[in-house]
């Protein structure tokens, strides 16, 4: 399997090279040269497989020619051995044909664990085979950082530097990152917002001259194709759980950087009979504005009670544009240049196609709090603010009540006590046992100005020999 850039000018790469490269040399994102497809009969034959067995079926085509099946199986088994629930991603019913897919059963209580536990093991495997060391530099709006650190903390050949926006993540999210005291783990609280962190990381990938000799940057955020690949699996797992492929299934996805819902789109392309894909956003609603009004323009970022979605530049939307424009790399490069100046506009045919593929909905903080309260009062199930937005988006945009609607629960409610208490809970939701002492642990974090040179100097001086 070869991988190509969304901007059409970078060389095609093998899977292992894509895992280590991150952004393509032309600034684009790597995608498979072809999307694997499965027949309805083959998908039906997967019913009853464990999550790990299903992951092997789904992922094998994407790594063909790079990783032997026995090695891939071992990577998958080790990656999901850290999850608290044997189903890995269990489902809970909250209404008629309405389900919550719990993606937070991993070690850091967020959906990012599903991909990043796998990516950490995958990186270790590839780097040991090549006798190579890399520097991971990533930006997080809350959950990616802790999941990436947990996945890579024991990697001998990785130094990891995670940037989060100073004072703009929850206390639990921050402490999950800053209390990991390892020689290869470095947390940077950068003064600015998530987009500032993400832009600095992207610029660093474009010019890596600041790194020590022999090192290169590797990506753990959702620009890394391996993360998208790992996320595709739970769409198939959830669909099979409610009767697919014999019946259609819909998904509502709390959406910030567009990686999670793009994985759902790829699952549909691979043969899963998906009826609706719902883009659920908070007041930072560029994706909703794009789908509903063809308004993909930058606006001031708002600080909300669903901070993991406080994003105005959704990196993975470029992958979707590549598909909407029939893989025309030159056109994507042109669109991304337009967006740099503040706005881009989709062509009529592409907008029409996007609206066929996606529904969208926007929810503010006050309405989101009402949803947390409503779900709890009706079925005594507590959702986090991001999941609440997904639930309401599903209810408001749903076209067919006979089709199961699965809302992706992206985080455990204990990570967002402020929102949960505003919804009427008298006490902070309890952290799971393995994290019960989180607020007693030592923290280690560097607070830096929004200055690229300062950040790069810190990275360069803290890489291990």
pLDDT confidence band for 23 (50 / 70 / 90): confident
In angstroms, rounded to a whole number, what is the distance separating the alpha carbons of residues 361 and 430?
30
Rounded mean pLDDT, 307-315: 89
Rounded mean pLDDT, 439-455: 96
Q: For residue 253, what pLDDT is reported?
A: 98
pLDDT confidence band for 186 (50 / 70 / 90): very high
User: CA 115 → CA 104, 148, 165, 355, 454, distances in Å?
Assistant: 11, 9, 22, 28, 30
In angstroms, rounded to a whole number, what is the distance separating the alpha carbons of residues 145 and 24?
22
Spans of all domains in the chain: 88-110+225-422
- Neighbouring-strand partners of residue 189: 164, 447
Rounded mean pLDDT, 402-430: 94
Q: For residue 460, what pLDDT is reported?
A: 96
The mean of the pLDDT values for the chain is 95
pLDDT of residue 274 exceeding 80: yes
Q: If we measure between CA atoms, which residue out of 33, 31, 23, 28 comes closest to residue 8?
A: 28
Catalytic entry in 2, 57, 73, 112:
112
Q: For residue 426, what pLDDT is reported?
A: 87
**Tokens representing residue 318 in the block:** 């470029």
Q: For residue 142, what pLDDT is reported?
A: 74
| 248 flagged as catalytic | no
**Tokens representing residue 108 in the block:** 């850091």
pLDDT of residue 141 exceeding 90: no
Q: How many other CB atoms are found less than 10 A from the CB of residue 355? A: 14
Rounded mean pLDDT, 406-415: 96
Instruction: Identify which has the larger pLDDT, 143 or 17.
Output: 17
The phi, psi pair for 288, rounded to 5°, reads -65, -40
Count of CA atoms in the C-beta half-sphere (13 A) of 431:
19
pLDDT confidence band for 219 (50 / 70 / 90): confident
Q: For residue 22, what pLDDT is reported?
A: 78
Q: For residue 290, what pLDDT is reported?
A: 97
pLDDT confidence band for 157 (50 / 70 / 90): very high
Dump pLDDT digits (tens) for 41-66.
999 999 999 999 999 999 999 999 99
% of the chain at pLDDT higher than 90: 90
pLDDT confidence band for 220 (50 / 70 / 90): confident
Lowest mean pLDDT among 241-250, 309-318, 350-359: 309-318
Q: For residue 275, what pLDDT is reported?
A: 98
pLDDT of residue 144 exceeding 90: no
Dump pLDDT digits (tens) for 111-120.
999 999 999 9
Lowest mean pLDDT among 280-284, 306-310, 336-340: 306-310
Q: What CATH number was assigned to the domain covering residues 88-110+225-422?
A: 3.40.50.1100
Q: For residue 87, what pLDDT is reported?
A: 97
Q: How many other CB atoms are found less than 10 A from the CB of residue 415? A: 30
pLDDT confidence band for 221 (50 / 70 / 90): confident
Rounded mean pLDDT, 330-341: 96
Rounded mean pLDDT, 302-314: 91
- Neighbouring-strand partners of residue 92: 100
% of the chain at pLDDT higher than 70: 100
């Amino acid at each position: 399997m070869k991988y190509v850039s969304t901007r059409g000018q970078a060389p095609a790469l093998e899977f292992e090279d894509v895992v280590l490269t991150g952004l393509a040399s032309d600034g684009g994102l790597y995608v498979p040269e072809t999307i694997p497809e499965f027949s309805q009969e083959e998908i039906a034959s997967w019913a009853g497989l464990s999550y790990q067995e299903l992951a092997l079926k789904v992922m094998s085509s994407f790594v063909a020619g790079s990783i032997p099946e026995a090695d891939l199986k071992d990577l998958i088994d080790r990656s999901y051995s850290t999850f608290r629930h044997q189903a890995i991603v269990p489902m809970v019913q909250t209404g008629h044909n309405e389900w919550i897919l719990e993606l937070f059963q991993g070690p850091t209580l967020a959906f990012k664990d599903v991909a990043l536990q796998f990516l950490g093991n995958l990186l270790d495997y590839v780097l040991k085979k090549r006798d190579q060391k890399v520097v991971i530099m990533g930006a997080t709006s809350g959950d990616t950082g802790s999941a990436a650190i947990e996945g890579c903390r024991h990697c001998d050949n990785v130094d990891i530097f995670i940037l989060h926006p100073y004072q703009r993540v929850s206390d639990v999210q921050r402490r999950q990152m800053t209390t990991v005291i390892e020689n290869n783990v470095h947390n940077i609280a950068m003064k600015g917002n998530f987009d500032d962190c993400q832009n600095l990381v992207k610029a660093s990938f474009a010019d890596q001259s600041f790194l020590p000799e022999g090192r290169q940057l590797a990506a753990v955020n959702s620009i890394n194709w391996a993360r998208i690949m790992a996320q595709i699996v739970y769409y198939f797992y959830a669909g099979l759980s409610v009767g697919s492929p014999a019946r259609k299934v819909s998904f509502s996805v709390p959406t910030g950087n567009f990686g999670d819902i793009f994985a759902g789109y790829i699952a549909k392309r691979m043969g899963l009979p998906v009826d609706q894909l719902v883009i659920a956003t908070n007041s930072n609603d560029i994706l909703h504005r794009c789908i509903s009004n063809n308004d993909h323009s930058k606006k001031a970022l708002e600080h909300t009670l669903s901070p993991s979605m406080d994003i105005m530049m959704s990196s993975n939307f470029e992958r979707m544009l590549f598909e909407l424009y029939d893989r025309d790399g030159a056109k994507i490069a042109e669109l991304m240049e337009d967006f740099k100046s503040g706005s881009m506009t989709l062509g009529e045919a592409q907008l029409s196609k996007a609206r066929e593929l996606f529904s969208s909905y926007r929810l503010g903080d006050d309405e989101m709090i009402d949803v947390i309260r409503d779900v709890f009062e009706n079925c005594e199930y507590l959702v986090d603010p991001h999941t609440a937005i997904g639930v309401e988006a599903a209810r408001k945009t749903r076209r067919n009540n006979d089709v199961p609607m699965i809302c992706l629960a992206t985080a455990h409610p204990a990570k967002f006590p402020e929102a949960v208490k505003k919804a009427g809970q008298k006490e902070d939701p309890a952290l799971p046992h393995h994290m019960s002492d989180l607020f007693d642990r030592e923290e280690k974090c560097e607070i830096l100005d929004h200055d690229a040179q300062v950040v790069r100097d810190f990275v360069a001086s803290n890489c291990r020999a």
